[in-house]
Structure 1
Amino acid sequence: MASTPDLDTTSHTTLDPVFPLPHVSLPPMYVFSLVVKVLTCILGLPGNVLVIYITSRLMQPSANAAWCQGLAVADLAFIFTLPFSATYLSLGHHWPFGNVLCKLISSLAVISMVTSSFTLALISLDRCLSVLRPIWSQNHRGQGIARKACLLSCATALLLSLPTWVFRKTVVRSDSTVACHQIFLLPSEEAQQSQAEEEEYLRLLWVAQSRMTGVLVSQVVLGFLLPILTMMACYTLIGLQLRTLGRRRGWARPFGVMGTVVMAFMICLLPLQVLKLMVIASPMSPSVPQVVKLGLPLASSLVYLNSCLNPLLYLVLGGGLRTGLRRRSLCKALKWALTDEPTSERTVSHRETSL
């Protein structure tokens, strides 16, 4: 089972083709996935580029500008992989770009998704500290620290992507088409497998299954569950603290925007994580592979969609869309939406400046 080289959650321990001959016409779910990829590129590329431009050129240096810029860079990196995976899908799961790009594009997709997850967890921690420890946060919170934290997120994501780089490779099918799959065997082990006796063959199969389980568990737990639990805990503490202080109204906009971004991320990535867990459990349930094969196009489409959502959410939920339409400036709208000061403080500051 494979969908696109970046979101494939299965392993293949032999050279048997996963798909039959390339499809002349794709099934409806794969057509839908292809359409989502195209729309994501159309919407996500200019949106994330605009966020990067505004946070780097038009906004005052701040931690929030660095956070939003880091998220936009991660989403943009993921969008750059979509033309390759769209081509792979449109050609009936034939990979024409070679082995190096098979590894690189798949690894980049993992890096961008995990980086987004870690960055959102760090943003949640930053927001939590700004409410629970406002004086300490004001003295220690800055753009430099936020950028270093984003780089640390990327470095950690790079480590989690190393198995993808090692085990992802091109496989020539019997009809001379090329697949881009994860095969959790080293080249020497693959050579042994082709000539192995039954006992040795089963041992290598067990090795591949164990490696696949380890990789998927690490991606689900470290790259998704741990950051999501961190985000949920932080926003729970924020809500309790603001209710206690009676300051919910002033902080509703900045925390509401980022809280919705977190929720959208969770909803978009959760189905794929569930499918990964189902793949881990597949030896115990023979019906699972078919369920995963049917569900992967939809789960993948949600992941693609998430990489173009953030700029739209900033505009709509931050009140920037209404402001931008009134002032006829999309840059001003996004700049307003990306500012994380409480509404009351911003209003006071604006009035003092006007006076």
Structure 2
Amino acid sequence: MELYEVPKKINKINLMLATFFFITFLFGIVTNSLFLWVLGFKMKRAINTIWFFHLILSNVIFIFLLPFVGVYILMDSHWIFGTLMCKLINTLISLSMFASVFLLTIISIDRYLLIAHPMWSWCHRTTKCASIICVVIWILALGLSAPYLAFRETHLDEQNKTICCNNYAFSNDWVDPNTQLLRIKVHWLMFAFRLLSGFLLPFIIITFCYLTIAIKMKMKSLTRSKKPFKVIITAIISFFLCWAPYHVYYSLGIYKDQYPELINAFKSLSSFLSCINSCFTPILYLFIGENFKQIFRRSIRSFFESAFNENLDSMDQAHKDKLEISVHSSVKDQM
């Protein structure tokens, strides 16, 4: 059996995508590491900083894996890192995805409770509780990613390329119709489960929470600034745009022999948006929450503090004021 030879002429799309991965890796490591440093060591420990620290940590895990994916693409889907790395890297990618999605969902729920149930939030919203929730999220994300350790493996295709892919039948027979049917059934089950737990339910929860927040803030006149509404709209749209193509690509994997061009298109799109989500989205939030002209006038610490805490702190203060007024009113009525 002849060994697979790396093509002398690299596909332009693969070259562009791999180049984007390597640039994202370099840029993302610097920016996200800076985020982690400021959130972990330079800012006061608070609930909001805990959420964002773990969210950016999930992004860092994904960014560290980009060079492996970039080499895989440059090699025209020829895997050179072995079976163990095939399992481990894809498990970590899934871990990053689930952790990121769940943390975004928890952040939206936290802000919803802060607006809709301020008294309850005042009594139960603690840094210890937030830390415990983050630990539970990581454990849950790891549990949902564990199937990759079992299903993911390497095998030789017709061109003698080593492919890193899911083997849902636990069989080395890639031709038998019954085995192929079993793979398709398990693939559908995995797709439905991942779509429900990793996209549909979180998207419904995030949309409900942020729309409710927007309605209540407008009705109660909790803020005169349009910045919180911009953040809300950006959060909903960016979540949908970044993750919907990935799940479409995952579902199309069932028909990889029938729609190769469509699959490659969604593969490129989902890969591009995943990089955007993990590397550039935090910066987008910063620029939405800050006036561009003021960015150069602030120190790094105050810049990060303002971006992460401005909107939430203004909500906190508004609710504290309203809560104090309602408490004094209740006491006055009872006297």
Shorter-chain TM range is 0.7 to 0.9
Task: Tell me how far 1:259 sits from its aligned partner.
Answer: 4.9
What amino acid sits opposite 1:266 in the alignment?
Answer: F
Q: In the alignment, is residue 95 of structure 1 matched against residue 79 of structure 2? A: yes
Determine helix, strand or coil for the equivalent of 1:171: strand
Identify which of 82, 90, 104 aligns with 1:106. Answer: 90
Counterpart of 1:124 in structure 2 is 108
Q: In the alignment, is residue 332 of structure 1 matched against residue 332 of structure 2? A: no
Check conservation: 1:254, 1:341, Cα contact below 8 A.
no
* Alpha carbons of structure 1 residues 333 and 325: separation in structure 2 relative to 1, 3 Å: same
1 CA distance for matches of 2:159 and 2:109? 52
2 CA distance for matches of 1:126 and 1:343? 12
Identify which of 223, 226, 229 aligns with 2:198. Answer: 223
Counterpart of 2:324 in structure 1 is none
2 CA distance for matches of 1:258 and 1:148? 26
* Alpha carbons of structure 1 residues 26 and 151: separation in structure 2 relative to 1, 3 Å: farther
Comparing 36-45 and 124-133, the one that deviates more: 36-45
Task: Tell me how far 1:142 sits from its aligned partner.
Answer: 2.1
1 CA distance for matches of 2:125 and 2:292? 28
Tell me the alpha carbon deviations over residues 63-90 of structure 1, each in whole angstroms, 9 at most, x when there is no partner: 1101100110000000011011111112
Counterpart of 1:277 in structure 2 is 251
Counterpart of 1:83 in structure 2 is 67
1 CA distance for matches of 2:285 and 2:302? 12
Determine helix, strand or coil for the equivalent of 2:296: helix
Task: Tell me how far 1:344 sits from its aligned partner.
Answer: 9.7
Task: Tell me how far 1:141 sits from its aligned partner.
Answer: 1.1
Check conservation: 2:43, 2:301, Cα contact below 8 A.
no
Tell me the alpha carbon deviations over residues 273-322 of structure 1, each in whole angstroms, 9 at most, x when there is no partner: 22233445x49xx7534311233112211112211123312320111654
Counterpart of 2:314 in structure 1 is 342
What amino acid sits opposite 2:290 in the alignment?
Answer: G
Task: Tell me how far 1:176 sits from its aligned partner.
Answer: 5.2
Counterpart of 1:143 in structure 2 is 127
Q: In the alignment, is residue 58 of structure 1 matched against residue 42 of structure 2? A: yes
Task: Tell which has more relative contact order, 1 or 2 (C-alpha 8 A, sep 6+).
Answer: 1
Determine helix, strand or coil for the equivalent of 1:241: helix
Superposition misfits of 4+ residues, deviation over 6 angstroms: none
What amino acid sits opposite 1:330 in the alignment?
Answer: I
Task: Tell me how far 1:25 sits from its aligned partner.
Answer: 2.7
- Residues 134-173 of structure 1 correspond to what in structure 2 (within 5 A)? 134-173=118-157
2 CA distance for matches of 1:28 and 1:105? 25
Task: Tell me how far 1:124 sits from its aligned partner.
Answer: 0.4
Task: Tell me how far 1:202 sits from its aligned partner.
Answer: 2.5
1 CA distance for matches of 2:21 and 2:273? 10
Tell me the alpha carbon deviations over residues 247-279 of structure 1, each in whole angstroms, 9 at most, x when there is no partner: 2425x5456436524432321221122223344
Q: CA RMSD in A?
A: 2.7
* Alpha carbons of structure 1 residues 214 and 343: separation in structure 2 relative to 1, 3 Å: closer
Q: Percent identity?
A: 27
2 CA distance for matches of 1:323 and 1:265? 27
Runs of 5+ consecutive residues of structure 1 not aligned to the other structure: 1-19, 350-355
Runs of 5+ consecutive residues of structure 2 not aligned to the other structure: 322-335
Counterpart of 1:242 in structure 2 is 217
* Alpha carbons of structure 1 residues 277 and 303: separation in structure 2 relative to 1, 3 Å: same
Check conservation: 2:207, 2:236, Cα contact below 8 A.
no
Q: Give the TM-score normalised by the residue count of structure 1.
A: 0.81
2 CA distance for matches of 1:25 and 1:249? 57
Determine helix, strand or coil for the equivalent of 1:36: helix
Check conservation: 2:14, 2:76, Cα contact below 8 A.
no
What amino acid sits opposite 2:72 in the alignment?
Answer: Y
Check conservation: 1:253, 1:342, Cα contact below 8 A.
no
Q: Give the TM-score normalised by the residue count of structure 2.
A: 0.85
What amino acid sits opposite 2:304 in the alignment?
Answer: L
Identify which of 232, 240, 243 aligns with 1:266. Answer: 240
Task: Tell me how far 1:244 sits from its aligned partner.
Answer: 1.6
Check conservation: 2:203, 2:239, Cα contact below 8 A.
no
Counterpart of 1:305 in structure 2 is 276
- Residues 184-223 of structure 1 correspond to what in structure 2 (within 5 A)? 184-186=168-170, 189-190=171-172, 193=173, 201-223=176-198
* Alpha carbons of structure 1 residues 28 and 260: separation in structure 2 relative to 1, 3 Å: same
